Chains A and B, each alone.
Chain A
Amino acid sequence: MGRRFTFLAAILAAVALSTAGAPPASADPLMINGAGATFPYPLYSKWFFEYSNANPGVRFNYQSIGSGGGIKQVTAGTVDFGATDAPMTEEEMRKLPGPILHIPTAIGAVVVVYNLDKVESGLKLTPDVLAGIFLGKITRWNDPKIAEWNKTVTLPNADIVVTHRSDGSGTTDIFTNYLAAVNTEWRAKVGRGKSVYWPVGLGGKGNEGVSGVVKQTPGAIGYVELAYARQNRMKVVSLRNRDGNFVSPTLEGTSSAAAGAAKTMPDDFRVSLVDAPGKDAWPISGLTWLLVYKEQKDAAKGKALVQFLKWALSDGQKMAAALDYAALPKPVVEKVDKALRQISSGGKSLY
């Protein structure tokens, strides 16, 4: 008992010392609160950290509670900005107290990963074959429909174990949006959404859940974010894109999907990048957005937020690649920069 007490006391002393050594906080920094998507969280926290270092007067508090939660909180006005991986629906927009801007910040890619012992990374699949697997119509790895595109590969005579996300997520939304865009049967039978009724397969919670199941189950196939697949060195599928080329998922390929869509990008940026045109375009990509009200109630906060967004579009984009996010292509950045000029407070632009 006595020993346990001294141990506890030692910990307490250590904690006390470490906090005592920290420098005192600067006088009342401006605190900007945000909440939403988990997918861009690593990038955002890097941005917040770097930006606050350069501008000590501004601090950020971001809760990565999921896109749906971000939309709910920004609608209720409990945060200064929201963040989402799926654009707000018309119904959600109607509940807002005022007009909101979708500010694209980066591009995410969803990749298809698999676990086949003797097959290298880069197995080729067409959109219809991928849909067939996730619809449960192609159930064995040596199915002629897969073998047709992979003549040089010896495919095992094994069950395909389909794996998907069990939690509602933007990743699932992008993936099912893609399948619905390229395959009519998927569109009719399953549709798209943050969670759907999967015809086959087992669910893992989060990217880590899906990659955990894929890694532990021979013959498994699943989908995760690009960053996750790269950091875990998982085998990824080469998909045939809209232009008919088999492409491996890369950051450049993801950016070029956005570049391909830039010409037709609507002014509110609520656009899907799946199955985008472009020679090298990775077809399962999507923008991620910050949600910012056009009319800012607090001018000082609004000003700081706009300055941060300007920084995120220029210096911030350079940090994306190191964290496995694809940067916005130039034409998109220019377009977003213009949109930032619409943010105002009391009739005055905060740009």
Chain B
Amino acid sequence: MATRTGRNPKDLAFERASAIFAFVVLALTVLLFAVLLRESLPALRKFGARFLVSGTWDPVADQYGALPFLYGTLASSFIAILIAVPFGVGAAIFITEFAPAWLKKPVAFLAELLAAIPSVIYGLWGIFVLVPVLRDFLMKPAAKYLGWIPLFQGPVYGPSVLAAGWLLSIMIVPFILSVSREVLATVPQRQKEAVLSLGGTRWEMIRIVIGQHCIPGIFGAMVLGLGRALGETMAVTMVIGNRPEVFLSMFQQGYSMAAVIANEFAEAGGLQLSSLILIGLLLFLVTFVVNLAAKWILKKMVARASRGIGW
């Protein structure tokens, strides 16, 4: 390795320098985890595993539990993925396969521009535009006619887990769209032509090439979006209603992990501060686990795809 004889000293210096950078990244992650763990120890000692399953968040009584926040984060992100994946992938297919050449660039550019908008702008837009529209045209009718399903139960106020999920979906569509587009572009033209020449329709061609080539990539795009959704703070806190409760209906108010940290950190002290940091640690772990699981699934998918098994 580095001690091999005959190495160019400049090469060696470069190798060492880049190794240092890589190590710094690693050290930062470990350090982040260590500090979070140290600062959250008081809450960890006091509540233990109860912190994960307790639904109480009462700063006056100094009782804290993470369940409502964990639940709110996962639920709103899940809703976001549910909405964003069909939109993002659908738009990517349109842009690569159907759109006339003059439309391709502007649509792709505008969609990617969405990713550059600061999240506080999304939040304000959510309060003033998205929430009233969702409330009057989606949530109210749904609560009226489908209210017997717990998922759609009223009362409808506007700010809700559904609103947060919807807003998040708009924020992650650009990620899913642009990665999906890249993935679709890697499909060899010859394969597409082969399907068509065998008498396949356009739809069959898309279904087959996506099935053969693109599912792992699109899954990766989804994970990228999910990562953004899990950690999003400002926009979520502005529309989710900030109510630390476990809910059944999508129209109810919830709370997310990142939102409660942003809301209460500045004025918190003592056990409350420690509990907030513990929530931060949990968020760190949730993101970690989601990424790890995604990597594992992706590996399986790639292995399957390379063996030529369709979906």
Is the contact region of chain B dominated by helix, strand, or loop, or is it mixed? loop
Asked whether A205 lies within 8 Å of B242 as measured between CB atoms, the reply is yes
Interface residue tally of chain A, by bracket?
20 to 34
Q: Which A residues lie at the B interface, using CB under 8 A?
A: 65-69, 72, 159, 161, 166-169, 190-198, 201-205, 209, 212-213, 216-217
Residue among A72, A190, A203 with max Cβ neighbours from chain B (10 Å): A203
Nearest-Cβ distance from residue B11 to partner chain A, whole angstroms: 34
List the B side residues contacting A166 at CB < 8 Å. Answer: 237, 242, 259, 263
In addition to A68-B266, A166-B237, A168-B263, 12 A-B residue pairs with Cβ atoms within 8 Å of each other are A68-B267, A69-B267, A190-B60, A191-B61, A195-B272, A196-B58, A201-B243, A202-B159, A203-B241, A204-B242, A212-B127, A212-B128
The answer to whether residues A192 and B60 also contact, given A202-B241, A202-B242, A203-B242 and a CB cut-off of 8 A, is yes
* Interface check B264, CB cutoff 8 A: yes
Which listed residue, B56, B132, B253, B262, touches A202 by the CB 8 Å rule?
Answer: B253
Which listed residue, A68, A159, A194, A209, touches B238 by the CB 8 Å rule?
Answer: A209
Asked whether A195 lies within 8 Å of B238 as measured between CB atoms, the reply is no
> Digit string of B240-265 for contact with A (CB within 8 Å is 1, else 0)?
01111000000001000001001110
Asked whether A197 lies within 8 Å of B61 as measured between CB atoms, the reply is yes
> Digit string of B107-148 for contact with A (CB within 8 Å is 1, else 0)?
000000000000000001001100110000000000000000
List the A side residues contacting B237 at CB < 8 Å. Answer: 166, 205
Asked whether B266 lies within 8 Å of A168 as measured between CB atoms, the reply is yes
Taken together as a complex, chains A and B put the C-alpha atoms of A190 and B60 apart, in Å, by 7
Q: Which B residues lie at the A interface, using CB under 8 A?
A: 56-61, 124, 127-128, 131-132, 155, 157-159, 237-238, 241-244, 253, 259, 262-264, 266-269, 272
Nearest-Cβ distance from residue B30 to partner chain A, whole angstroms: 27
List the B side residues contacting A205 at CB < 8 Å. Answer: 237-238, 242, 262-263
List the A side residues contacting B262 at CB < 8 Å. Answer: 167, 205
Asked whether B238 lies within 8 Å of A167 as measured between CB atoms, the reply is no
Which listed residue, B159, B259, B267, touches A66 by the CB 8 Å rule?
Answer: B267
The answer to whether residues A194 and B263 also contact, given A203-B241, A212-B128 and a CB cut-off of 8 A, is no
Asked whether B266 lies within 8 Å of A65 as measured between CB atoms, the reply is yes
Taken together as a complex, chains A and B put the C-alpha atoms of A39 and B60 apart, in Å, by 22
Taken together as a complex, chains A and B put the C-alpha atoms of A216 and B131 apart, in Å, by 8
Asked whether B157 lies within 8 Å of A161 as measured between CB atoms, the reply is yes
List the B side residues contacting A169 at CB < 8 Å. Answer: 267
Asked whether B267 lies within 8 Å of A202 as measured between CB atoms, the reply is no
A-B contact pairs, 20 of them (CB 8 A): A65-B266, A68-B268, A69-B266, A161-B157, A166-B237, A166-B259, A168-B263, A169-B267, A194-B267, A195-B59, A197-B60, A202-B241, A202-B253, A204-B159, A205-B263, A212-B124, A213-B127, A213-B158, A216-B158, A217-B159
